[in-house]
Amino acid sequence: IAHEIAGVNGLDRAYLQKIAQMLGIAGRLNHRPSELSGGEQQRVALARALINKPAIVLADEPTGNLDSKNSEIVLRMLRQSNKELGQTVLMITHNPEAARIGDRIIHMRDGHIVAPEEDPQWHTK
């Protein structure tokens, strides 16, 4: 259904395999959600978002419920989707470590945009 909504004709299986390899889930593609770990489910959700080749990827706390290993995999994929696949990634996070993958970081406090200097817990590249 997502392909129909996105106007994509057919599934690009080679692209799916590339994404699955990058996310470390190539061997899990035929498993049901109940057969996947939480980290695998999160990575499958990311693969489903990327398979339609969107120009913009919106990631709301993409590492929020993940351990450090799976967080690293997801963050690496988001970075690669930007650098290798040409997708813009807009990530919302409370995690300064996750934010560091971005080329540009915009900080908010109490619903307002603040300058990075006003929030010392965030240090950009």
User: Where would I find the H helices in the chain?
Assistant: 2-6, 13-23, 38-50, 68-83, 96-99
Query: For 73-91, how does the pLDDT look when each residue is reduced to its tens digit (9 = 90+)?
Result: 899 999 998 998 899 999 9
Q: Domain 2-118, what fold?
A: Rossmann fold (3.40.50)
At residue 38, the pLDDT reads 85
Question: Domain limits of the chain?
Answer: 2-118
Summarize the confidence of residues 36-61 as an average pLDDT.
90
- State the chain's mean pLDDT as an integer: 85
Kindly report the number of other CB atoms within 10 A of residue 15's CB atom. Answer: 14
- Residue 89 structure tokens: 């990634």
Global pTM reads 0.74
